[in-house]
């Protein structure tokens, strides 16, 4: 081991070199925003890459913009080429990078994305450079060079000064293949998670309007089998269902905040849930905890299977947090709890809230000082179709099964990202050397 990367405390093998980006590349530059901004975007035409499209695992085209060919020609200096490394140079995603694949036709980029083009362009070398920039070696330098770390933006001279380890060609290509394989797995897993989300979104509407019959299948639609439905305030619902209101189907309770001046109240082990904890569907813990005495005198304690919703706060301007408890918890005054006689009904209603989030957000109103809140009388009067207990259980099992599949993929995704991080640390520093056979040696020098 010999050379040490500037700004990053790591040594590299003696036969590797440290190269500055400027010595490896023929171009380092960003694009511009077309005159007229987003108003000139098209639904088809030339791909126009923005920072949200650049992901560490690869280019994401799910929210891509397009520009017409005239605009593209007027932005000749920012045209991107296959196997350019795309690097975000401004904003919260600064430092995020990936390789522009081939086969996309003409491509241009905006001013937030820098194109880094190798002097000797190969896909494997581009992938290696992108991995080096995405690794702690590259990211540490990017943040250090970024005007004291204020994350406002990088200039081209700073980018050109970044140092990266540069193994022999055969090693570069082998390392790039390994890391690209992991990136491909990550991309496929992310796509599968998105697919489960889309399936769930579509299924939720059907489950809460058509339900699941005794054979475990969705009922035919009302148009297909009108004799299976009845008219209600909700519209057509299955004949077996009852029409009720949210206020009638459970016991509602308000939370509270134990005295902050009593320090002993805040040294306990009982979860005290507030809106900041409502980022998951199942609540088993919270950021704050209170004592037994605090739970008795300063708030409400509810059992596992209780539904929690946020009823006050600016988060209601754009979202409606809902969760179900998996253990005894307490909660604050900006929330309400819905307690049920059986677990299946609680999960059914929690899932119902998730399916009707947009409706709940629309129901929130602004208080005199601007904070969003619910008029509880409006919430209590919301109609809800209630299947039999057996059917509620079938509906919950359908949704939970999809959630279980999604969670398994999310856990696998987390594992892949951890593995990639470890591989980058080992392979890009030479701590772990890749084995290159004779065939690869010959190909690398051909």
Answer with the one of 112, 142, 166 that is the final residue of a domain: 166
Answer with the one of 166, 201, 226 that is the final residue of a domain: 166
Count of residues making up the chain:
446
CA angle at 168 for the pair 163 and 170, rounded to the nearest 5°? 130
The pLDDT tens digits of the residues spanning 165-214 come to 999 999 999 999 999 999 999 999 999 999 999 999 999 999 999 999 99
Alpha-carbon distance of 369 to 382, in angstroms, equals 26
Alpha-carbon distance of 185 to 52, in angstroms, equals 20
Read off the pLDDT of each residue in 135-160 and give the average, rounded to a whole number: 80
Alpha-carbon distance of 373 to 377, in angstroms, equals 12
Asked whether residue 162 falls in the same domain as residue 247, the answer is: no
pLDDT at 338 over 70: yes
Three-state DSSP at 140 gives helix
Q: Name the token pair of 135.
A: 């690794």
Alpha-carbon distance of 73 to 68, in angstroms, equals 9
The pLDDT tens digits of the residues spanning 281-292 come to 999 999 999 999
Asked whether residue 12 falls in the same domain as residue 137, the answer is: yes
pLDDT at 441 (0 to 100):
45
The pLDDT tens digits of the residues spanning 304-318 come to 999 999 999 999 999
- Residue 232 is assigned to a structural domain of this protein: no
Alpha-carbon distance of 84 to 337, in angstroms, equals 53
Read off the pLDDT of each residue in 425-434 and give the average, rounded to a whole number: 92
- Residue 210 is assigned to a structural domain of this protein: no
The number of domains in the chain is: 2
Give pTM, 2 decimals: 0.79
- Residue 297 is assigned to a structural domain of this protein: yes
- Residue 16 is assigned to a structural domain of this protein: yes
Alpha-carbon distance of 71 to 38, in angstroms, equals 12
Sequence-distant (≥ 6) Cβ neighbours of residue 129 within 8 angstroms: 21, 24, 85, 116, 118, 164
- Greatest Cα pair distance, the chain, in angstroms, is 81
Residue 385 near residue 237, CB atoms below 8 Å: yes
Asked whether residue 161 falls in the same domain as residue 260, the answer is: no
- Residue 427 is assigned to a structural domain of this protein: no
CATH assignment of the domain containing 351:
3.90.220.20
Read off the pLDDT of each residue in 136-154 and give the average, rounded to a whole number: 77
- Cα dist from 209 to 70, 203, 239, 352, whole Å: 49, 10, 11, 11
54 CA to centre of own chain = 14
Q: Name the token pair of 440.
A: 């690869």
- Residue 91 is assigned to a structural domain of this protein: yes
Q: Would you place residue 151 in the very low, low, confident or very high pLDDT band (cuts 50, 70, 90)?
A: low
Domain that holds residue 60: 1-166
Instruction: Please provide the average confidence, as pLDDT, over all residues in the chain.
Output: 91
- Residue 344 is assigned to a structural domain of this protein: yes
Q: Would you place residue 34 in the very low, low, confident or very high pLDDT band (cuts 50, 70, 90)?
A: confident
**Tokens 């709890």, located at residue:** 337
- Residue 364 is assigned to a structural domain of this protein: yes
Among 288, 352, 283, 285, residue whose Cα is nearest residue 320: 352
Asked whether residue 7 falls in the same domain as residue 155, the answer is: yes
**Tokens 């696998």, located at residue:** 412
């Amino acid at each position: 081991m010999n050379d040490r990367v500037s700004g990053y405390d790591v040594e590299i093998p003696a036969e590797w070199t440290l190269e500055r980006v400027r010595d490896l590349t023929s171009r380092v530059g960003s694009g511009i925003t077309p005159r007229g901004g987003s108003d000139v975007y098209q639904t088809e035409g030339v791909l126009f890459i923005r920072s949200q499209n650049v992901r560490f695992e690869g280019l994401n085209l799910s929210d891509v913009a397009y520009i017409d060919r005239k605009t593209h020609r007027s932005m000749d200096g920012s045209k991107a080429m296959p196997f350019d490394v795309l690097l975000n140079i401004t904003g919260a995603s600064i430092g995020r990078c990936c390789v522009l694949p081939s086969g996309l036709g003409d491509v241009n980029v905006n001013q937030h994305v820098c194109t880094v083009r190798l002097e000797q362009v190969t896909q494997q070398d581009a992938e290696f450079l992108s991995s080096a920039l995405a690794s702690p070696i590259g990211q540490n330098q990017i943040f250090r060079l970024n005007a004291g770390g204020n994350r406002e933006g990088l200039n081209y001279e700073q980018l050109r000064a970044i140092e990266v380890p540069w193994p022999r060609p055969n090693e570069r290509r082998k390392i790039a293949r390994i890391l690209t394989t992991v990136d491909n797995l990550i991309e496929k897993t992310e796509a599968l998670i998105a697919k489960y989300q889309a399936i769930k979104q579509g299924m939720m509407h059907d489950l809460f309007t058509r339900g699941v019959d005794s054979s475990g299948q969705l009922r035919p639609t009302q148009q297909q089998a009108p004799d299976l439905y009845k008219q209600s305030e909700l519209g057509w619902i299955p004949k077996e269902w009852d029409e009720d209101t949210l206020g009638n189907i459970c016991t509602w309770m308000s939370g509270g905040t134990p005295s902050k001046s009593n320090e002993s109240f805040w040294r306990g082990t009982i979860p005290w849930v507030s809106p900041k904890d409502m980022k998951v569907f199942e609540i088993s813990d919270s950021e704050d905890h209170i004592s037994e005495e605090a739970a008795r005198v300063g708030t409400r304690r509810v059992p596992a299977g209780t539904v929690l919703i946020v009823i006050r706060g600016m988060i209601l301007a754009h979202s409606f947090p809902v969760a179900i408890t998996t253990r005894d918890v307490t909660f604050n005054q900006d929330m309400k709890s819905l307690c049920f006689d059986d677990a299946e009904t609680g999960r059914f209603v929690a899932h119902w809230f998730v399916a009707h989030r947009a409706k709940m957000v629309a129901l929130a109103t602004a208080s005199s000082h601007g904070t969003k809140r619910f008029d509880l009388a409006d919430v209590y009067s919301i109609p809800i179709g209630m299947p039999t207990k057996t059917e509620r259980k079938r509906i919950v099992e359908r949704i939970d099964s999809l959630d279980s599949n999604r969670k398994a993929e999310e856990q696998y995704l987390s594992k892949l990202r951890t593995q990639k991080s470890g591989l980058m640390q080992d392979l890009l520093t030479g701590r772990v050397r890749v084995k290159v056979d004779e065939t690869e040696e010959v190909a690398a020098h051909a």
